[in-house]
Amino acid sequence: MVQLGIWKKVCENLMSAIDNINDETTEIIVIPFADNNLPNPVLKPMVANATSAGKDALKAKISALPQPKTSTMTYHYIPVQDFCEKRVSANRVTYMFLMTDGQDEDKLKRTLNKLLPQWGAKYGNRNVYGFYVMLNQKAANPEVDRVCKNQDHLWKVATADVNINLVRLQSSAIFNAKNDKYFDLPIACGNVSGKAFSASFPSNCPYKVKKTEKLSNTIRVWVDPVPGQKLPKSSNNNLIIKMTGGGNFDFLVTEIIPVKCEYKPERSLKISVK
């Protein structure tokens, strides 16, 4: 059941969190509460891109939500299932805010027992991030704690009181071992002061990361061939980026970056003059 005393604070903090999402290509989805009088409530999620107009429209909808009645409970299986099946795209960053009282009104507990425990497996390596927004203090029950702590990209937040600072890197890079010693990953947005970055290739990759440097607006990755490895003319390898030094909700939006590694001379143009 929703705790009415914090309802206004939840809405205010949720709108503030939305304001802090600066990447305009990010899709924001808010799944609100539903009245338990409905046997199978189908909630239409509030959806918008993080443009100025999109965020304003989303905040207006949140402001217009009526204060829940004392009988109101949250029921999320159907809308969360809809989110998992239809709303997620590999072509964008997605944020989902689930407003809940921590009680699964679905008698089979399919939301907590079925959908949320799959979150990390489905989205841990994708740009999909979920926030479990508590509508009362009892929403922090042991079962919820266990589920959220064991899932990547899923956080439990009190009344949506979260300052989300994104650090997003470019989505791909090219490295030519014949000519290059390093490649740069531009930082698209986010405050990186006080943060450090590390990078690594998988153990079976013919290349290794020698060192990682943080410059003012880029991360520079120095690369060496692995000794004794025959280098292919071209190979695609996943670079794993990790960040330290951030707060609870300062994190990378891109954690795995495809890097095309080449081993061939740069193309040259020959001109003959007769």
Per-residue pLDDT band at 206 (split at 50, 70, 90): very high
Residue 84: its H or E element: none
Is 122 part of a structural domain of the chain?
yes
Q: Of 217, 216, 168, nearest to 24 (Cα)?
A: 168
Query: Residue 77 belongs to what domain range?
Result: 4-162
Strand order in the sheet with 27-31: 46-49, 27-31, 94-100, 128-134, 154-158
If one compares 24 and 53, the residue with the highest pLDDT of the two is 53
Locate 258 and state its tokens.
Answer: 């495809």
Is 271 part of a structural domain of the chain?
no
Work out whether the CA dihedral 155, 160, 163, 167 comes out positive or negative. Answer: positive
Mean pLDDT of 189-197: 78
Q: How many domains does the structure of the chain reveal?
A: 2
- Residue 272 buriedness (CB in 10 A; 0-12 / 13-18 / 19+): exposed
Q: Output the pLDDT for position 250.
A: 66
Is 213 part of a structural domain of the chain?
yes
CA distance 151 to 120: 5
If one compares 41 and 129, the residue with the highest pLDDT of the two is 129
**Whether residues 107 and 46 fall in one domain:** yes
Among 17-31, 70-84, 88-102, 124-138, the least confident range: 70-84
21, 55 contact by CB (below 8 A): yes
End position of a domain, from candidates 127, 162, 197: 162
Is 270 part of a structural domain of the chain?
no
Among 26-30, 155-159, 229-233, the least confident range: 155-159
Position 255, amino acid: E
Distances (CA, A) of 123 to 5, 79, 89, 180, 257: 33, 17, 11, 33, 15
pTM of the predicted model, to two decimals?
A: 0.67
In the chain the beta strands, taken as DSSP E runs, fall at 27-31, 46-49, 94-100, 128-134, 154-158, 165-169, 173-176, 182-189, 196-200, 207-214, 218-225, 234-244, 250-252, 256-262
**Residue 175 belongs to domain with CATH number:** 2.60.40.10
Per-residue pLDDT band at 261 (split at 50, 70, 90): very high
Q: What is the DSSP letter of 73?
A: B
Q: Output the pLDDT for position 149.
A: 80
The pLDDT tens digits of the residues spanning 63-74 come to 887 776 665 556
**Whether residues 20 and 97 fall in one domain:** yes
**Residue 126 belongs to domain with CATH number:** 3.40.50.410
CA distance 68 to 5: 11
**Whether residues 9 and 144 fall in one domain:** yes
Is 274 part of a structural domain of the chain?
no
CA distance 82 to 227: 49
